[in-house]
A and B are shown apart, each in its own frame.
Chain A
Amino acid sequence: MRSLAAVLLGLALALPVQAEWVFADFEAVSGAAQEKLFPHLESAGRGNLAASGDRLALVWEDNRDGSPQVYAALRTTDFGAPLRLSTGREAYEPVVVGLGEGRFLAAFEQDGKVVARVFSAEEQGPINALDGAVSAQPTLATGSGRLHAAWGRRDGRFLRLVSAPLSVDGLKVVTGTARAVDTSPAQDEQLYASLVATGRGYALAWEDRRAGHTRLLTAVSSDGAQWSKPQPLNEIPRSSSAAELGLGRGPGVTRVSLAGDGADTVAAVWMDKRDFLSGYDIYAGVSSDGGRGFGANEKAQDAFAAEKPQWHPAVAITPHGVVAAWDDPRDDSPDLWLSTRLGEKEWSDDFTVAGASGPGSQDNPVLLWHGGRLHLAWVHKNESAAQVRYAQGRWE
């Protein structure tokens, strides 16, 4: 018997240990859940989380002051009380980047125009308009001392994507010249862009309706001023029953999010309805050349929720693989689900996070890899109240 136990113990020690993401208990970010409080973690590229020095910032929108406004909470070991960042009648879709030494820059839509504000735990700068025209859906990127923004500017009937360099002088944001990303005439909407800094400049992805249906396009720039010719990101099935009937223009794709490692790796995730009978699925593309090419599309989710629609994808690049997060109602109500890219076209089984599944709904995830931790935030709702929650994971 002893020898059998020794053999089993030896076998157990000899087997490779399968590492996995292990998440700590969740923390409430937006304060206590309250009736009639409606927090939203929505933004272009799902860029609601950033790190700066030893601090983490999460930005969201809610109606605690009687109208939709933008708030931030800062964390060292715990989240502090929410700071209100917006100052207008209403504000939406905030994104944030770290500026170093505990300072952050948030950008959001306020009263129909894109604005930005520097903030830290100690102080906030003035509201700075990034655009005097009607504008929305900002996205920010920072890296190697550079700071850049892109957003949708109203041009006639359509939002048209523009980008501009930013600099920060103390608490003031200085906006450089905003230029159209694609210089061809505005013919239809360009929406919900996601911008990242790379070792070679910037990579950008967005929704583009100029083909009569939504396509996802990408472009790169070494300086943020001139962008490469847009390239398609999502693959369109060569044949479909609808196409054969001469109907429609293409399958639905929407809400692309990018993450970068600051060097050459850029990952994209999006919602894709190429299999239209079961709603959106989560697809991904990974670039190893700073966003010039994303290779073949990969399905990030596993087959267990194939019959359910997936929503709100977010992405992070970690040393342990690209991680995608989204929500879906495979267990009747929305829960967060994550998947790790194990290799080319190979993703892990979907897994969920304690505290981000179960009773109520858990949706709208945002992700950030920083300081050896995978930072995850989402919106939790039950029948009467909602709050923003956060948990961090380790690979072990």
Chain B
Amino acid sequence: MKTLTRLIALAALLSAALVHADPPAGYAFVPYDEGLRQAQANGKKIFLYFGRYGCAWCDKTNKETFSDAGLKQLYSDNYVLVYVDAESGTRLSLPSGERITEMELGARLNVFATPVFIYLEPDGATILKVPGYKTVQDFRDFDRYVRGGHYKEMKLLEFLAENPS
């Protein structure tokens, strides 16, 4: 009986965790400052996911988009993956040495909604910021734009018009 109770409790805990719109399962998301360190060490660009606890559109993106195995492979292989809880008081260190909270990072990057996805250079400079629910194909398009270096020459919409999926 005790075992059954424990299993029910564990199932309840797991199901609660699934709806909280934390980072999608199976991705190696790290905190922002750790991500900057990793990116500077390996030269990869950063994929920064601003989510929020209970965020509906994060939930939808996790379930419908980040569940795609091919997308998971593409982003895990080519980016340092960073997740920030936009309402969290968890502290992180900026390259300047300043210590701020995750929420304050959102304020400074003007993250007005969640989810927001930001692509960053390894030094933390912003390449592209895209808010809201996105599909697997959207993320594949953003990847082509970012890793192909096209952001240096044209806007995203121009790139997509010239290079449709």
Chain A contact residues, CB within 8 Å of chain B: 36, 38, 40, 42, 63, 68, 90, 92, 136-137, 191-192, 207, 209, 211-214, 240, 242-243, 245, 247-250, 252, 254-255, 273, 276-280, 308-309, 311-312, 329, 363
Contact = CB atoms under 8 A, between A and B. Distances in A.
Nearest to B63: A247
B89 A248 contact: no
Nearest to A278: B112
B37 interface: no
Interface stretch (B23-31, B52-60, B69-77): B52-60
A68 B89 contact: no
Contacts of A63: 97-99
Contacts of B87: 207, 214, 252, 254-255
A15 B70 CA distance: 72
A312 to B, nearest CB: 7
A245 B53 contact: no
A248 B58 contact: yes
Nearest to A277: B113
A298 B152 CA distance: 45
B56 A42 contact: no
A248 B107 contact: no
State the majority secondary structure of interface residues on B: loop
B92 to A, nearest CB: 12
Given A252-B114, A254-B103, A191 B89 contact: yes
B16 interface: yes
Contacts of A311: 107
6 contacts: A248-B54, A248-B56, A248-B59, A249-B20, A254-B87, A254-B103
Given A214-B54, A248-B58, 13 more contacts: A36-B97, A38-B97, A38-B98, A42-B104, A63-B98, A63-B99, A191-B89, A212-B54, A213-B54, A242-B60, A245-B56, A254-B103, A276-B113
A276 B55 CA distance: 10
Contact of B112 (A136, A240, A279): A279
A154 to B, nearest CB: 13
B19 interface: yes
A245 B19 CA distance: 13
A249 B54 contact: yes
A38 B94 CA distance: 11
Interface residues of B, number: 31
A208 B90 CA distance: 16
B20 A212 contact: yes
Contacts of B111: 279, 309
A209 B19 CA distance: 12
Interface string B129-163: 00000000000000000000000000000000000
A48 B18 CA distance: 37
B52 to A, nearest CB: 5
B96 A36 contact: yes
A366 B51 CA distance: 27
A361 to B, nearest CB: 9
Contact of B110 (A68, A90, A252, A309): A309
Contacts of B99: 38, 63, 68, 90, 92
Nearest to B54: A213
Contacts of A247: 56-57, 59-60
A192 B52 CA distance: 16
Contacts of A250: 54
B7 interface: no
Contact of B56 (A92, A243, A255, A312): A243
B100 interface: yes
A380 B100 CA distance: 16
B84 interface: no
B53 A214 contact: yes
B60 A192 contact: no
Nearest to A66: B97
Nearest to B62: A247
Contacts of A211: 54
B40 interface: no
B118 interface: no
Give the residue among A247, A250, A276, A329 with the most B Cβ atoms within 10 A.
A247
A40 B20 CA distance: 30
A276 B113 CA distance: 6
A325 to B, nearest CB: 15
A248 B112 contact: no
Q: Which 4 residue pairs are nearest across A and B when measured between Cβ atoms?
A: A213-B54, A248-B56, A279-B112, A242-B56
A155 to B, nearest CB: 15
Nearest to B12: A187
Given A212-B20, A212-B54, A213-B53, A245 B60 contact: yes
A15 to B, nearest CB: 41
A266 B91 CA distance: 31
A279 B113 contact: yes
A126 to B, nearest CB: 26
Contacts of A279: 111-113
Contacts of A137: 89
Contacts of B100: 40
B97 A212 contact: no
